[in-house]
Each structure stands twice: as C-alpha cells, then as structure tokens.
Amino acid sequence: MNHENKRRAAWAVNGIFSFLLSFFLYLAILCLVFSQTILQEGFARQILAESRYVSLLAGEIRDEFIAYGGVGGFEEAFWEEKFSQIVSEEMLEADAARQLHSLYTGTSLETNEELVHSSLYTAFLEEAVRRGTAVDADKENDLQSLAETCAEVYGEAVRIPYADRIGGLLVKAKTPLYAGLAVLACLSVLCAAIITWLNRKSGRCLYWLYGGLAGAALLSAVVPLGILFSRKIGKIGIFSQAMYAFSTLLLTRTLYAFLLAAGILLLLAIVLLAVQGIRRAGKRPPLETENVPKG
C-alpha cells in the first residue's frame, strides 16, 4: 500500500471513530439532560414555582366556584370574601407539592378535598343564616350537594392529569437511563482512546477529537433550536392555564439545558482546536534569516 492509500485509510478510520465519538456523546447528552431535568422532582418543583402554577390554579378554581355557586345563589361578592379563607395558597402549594411527589414516586397521595368540602358547607350555612334564609332539610341537602360539587372541582384541579400512569414510567425510566449514560460515557472514552492511539505518531488526535466534540454539539443543538424557533411548544393544547404554564416552561427549560450542554461541548472543541494550532505552530521550523550586506 503506497503512502497516499495509507493516508486515505487513516483518514477513513479516524473519521469513523470521530463520528462514533460524536454519536455516543450526543446520546450521553440526551441521557444526562433528561435525567437532570424532567426526571428530577427538584427541577419540576422549581418550574412549578417559576410558572406561577399555584396562583393561576387558584384563579381557575375560583372561576369554577363562582360558576357553580351562582346556581345556589352565592354570587361573586361571596367568593371574593370567602375563597381565600377556604382555599388558601398554602393549601394549594401543599397539594401541588404532594401531587408532584406522587408523580415522581408513583405513589397515590390524597388532596385536601375533604377539608375544602367541610369548609365550603360551613361557609354556605353561615351565609344562609346571615341572609335570614330558612335552612330546612331540603336546603341542607342542596348546600351539601353544592359543597360536594365544588370540592370535586378542587380535587380535579389540583391532581396532575395521568399522574398514576406517568409516575410509574418516570420511576422505571431512571435506572435504564443512568445505566445507558454510564455505558455511553465508557464508549465515548473508548473512542477517544482509539483516536489518540491511531494518531500517536502524527499528533493529529486533537483534530479528530475536536471533530467528535463539534459533531456532538451540533447534534445536541439542532433539534432544540428547531423546536424553539418554530414556537411549537406554545401551541400545546392544554386547557388549564396553570398546567399550560407549567408544561411549556418545563419543556422550554429542558431544551435550554440541551443548548447549554451543546455550548459546553463546543467550547471544549474550540479549546482542543486552539491547542492543536499551538502545537502545530511550535513544531514549525524557525525561519532562516538572510544576512543582509552592510552598505
């Protein structure tokens, strides 16, 4: 095999392992980002607070109470006074935190629906007495039914949709995801080691490592950028404003995490390219100076 064929073969082999390095790194970034964002309860709790989930949910529940309460003669003025006493933000925060914990552990946790029911029934009775309305057995049954309906509205509002199904999947996904991350990290190190060994004489290993890192950065950034620029996240069909705000912010922050990882990989690639350039500059023979005759 002549020199040109050897050079082409070396380029082909290095190119293959550089591509494999970028591919394994990209898959490792997928596992890493998902394991540190969507699969982390702490990350979801932070998004819950930043998305104003509780305040938006309180507004939704209040609107539902006004709609159902109007049928029983309890107008908006009544709810303006009583709603925050019956459904406090502290109660909503506690129930939201419990439901989120249920989502990430796969366990079933109850809400304060019964407490809301008893508080509503008491408030309805007090309001009826204040108005001078005769509270007989039929009236008590009507108030009890209205309190139950509003309490069910509260319970449905604070529960995360499909939490019983998604929770099991989130719990089961963690182990294979962490195992996959470990395997992909080992494969990436192996590819980098092979590239270094193949170029032990030529000293061009940094060039091929740069290609692998840059390729992984490109793969990690192209899909998130495409989704963000297309604004498809904002078109998610979720009726609840609170859940919409939480879901869109959760997905957006996850995509930003991919871009952060891509930026780190690109920075490392640039550093390797700079080091390669410095090494090549250091190996160049010094320029020979010509003796200029004196006049």
Considering only residues 183 and 273, tell me which one the structure prediction assigns the higher pLDDT: 183
Considering only residues 289 and 256, tell me which one the structure prediction assigns the higher pLDDT: 256
Question: What are the residue boundaries of the structural domains of the chain, listed by start?
Answer: 14-43+177-279, 45-163
pTM comes to 0.83
pLDDT (tens digit, 9 = 90+) per residue, 279-290? 777 665 555 444
Q: Which range in 118-127, 133-142, 168-177 is most confidently predicted, on average pLDDT? A: 118-127
Q: What is the pLDDT of residue 206?
A: 84
Q: What is the pLDDT of residue 289?
A: 46
CA-CA distance, 49 to 68, in Å (whole number)? 29
What are the Cα distances from residue 201, in Å, to 2, 186, 292?
18, 24, 39
pLDDT (tens digit, 9 = 90+) per residue, 23-53? 999 999 999 999 999 988 899 999 999 999 9
Is pLDDT of 183 > 90? yes
Maximum CA extent, the chain? 126
* Cβ neighbours around 252 below 10 Å, total: 16
Considering only residues 151 and 137, tell me which one the structure prediction assigns the higher pLDDT: 151
Q: Which range in 73-82, 89-98, 185-194, 233-242 is most confidently predicted, on average pLDDT? A: 185-194
**Mean predicted confidence (pLDDT) in 93-112:** 85
Q: What is the pLDDT of residue 2?
A: 65
Find the helix or strand (DSSP H, E) in which 242 lies. Answer: helix 241-283
CA-CA distance, 127 to 116, in Å (whole number)? 16
Return the ∠ at Cα 228 (arms to 173 and 30), rounded to 5°. Answer: 30
Give percent of the chain above pLDDT 90: 47
